[in-house]
Amino acid sequence: MADQANLHRRNIVAFVPIVNAAQAKTFYGDVLGLPLVGEEMPFALVFDANGIMLRLVILSELAPAPWTVLGWEVPDIEDTVRKLEASGVYFERYEHMQQDARGIWKSPNGAKVAWFKDPDGNVLSVSEFTKAHP
């Protein structure tokens, strides 16, 4: 197969839909600690997520997806969850999953995942993978 577009060598641009730009700006910037690099009003807020462009696309209405739309790989999930909780982040609990007291689920392959929502109800996650991930 021809390698025409070379997309495997290009950075991803992540898109997350939002409605309330002011709340999103505070949450992604102050709570999650992402640097705001641009405000393209009324279209998007642009953040730097460790060198990856995260565009929060401003919509007039939103029906959030029930699945994870954005996640971060972290080296120590317990420490990350603890710090996010201290910033006011609530971690989701799901009936069908065996999660610990902090909301961390351990997958069959050993990866650990915890989910939380942004102010618009988008499901976000933090994950700690085993050495042989994913």
Q: Can you give the pLDDT of all 134 residues of the chain as single tens digits? A: 555 788 888 999 999 999 999 999 999 999 999 999 999 999 999 999 999 999 999 999 999 999 999 999 999 999 999 999 999 999 999 999 999 999 999 999 999 999 999 999 999 999 999 876 55
Token pair listed for 107: 């997958």
Q: How far is CA 7 from CA 3, 26, 72, 111, in A?
A: 9, 32, 21, 27
Q: Which two tokens stand for residue 131?
A: 């050495």
* Beta-strand pair 52-58/13-18: parallel
Read off φ and ψ for residue 59, nearest 5 degrees: -115, 165
H-assigned helices in 27-133 = 77-86
Report the predicted TM-score, pTM, of the whole model to 2 decimal places: 0.91
- CA 69 to chain centroid: 7
Return the C-alpha torsion angle 20, 22, 25, 28, nearest 10. Answer: -50
Q: Which CATH code, of 2.60.120.10, 3.10.580.10, 3.90.180.10, 3.10.180.10, is assigned to 7-128?
A: 3.10.180.10
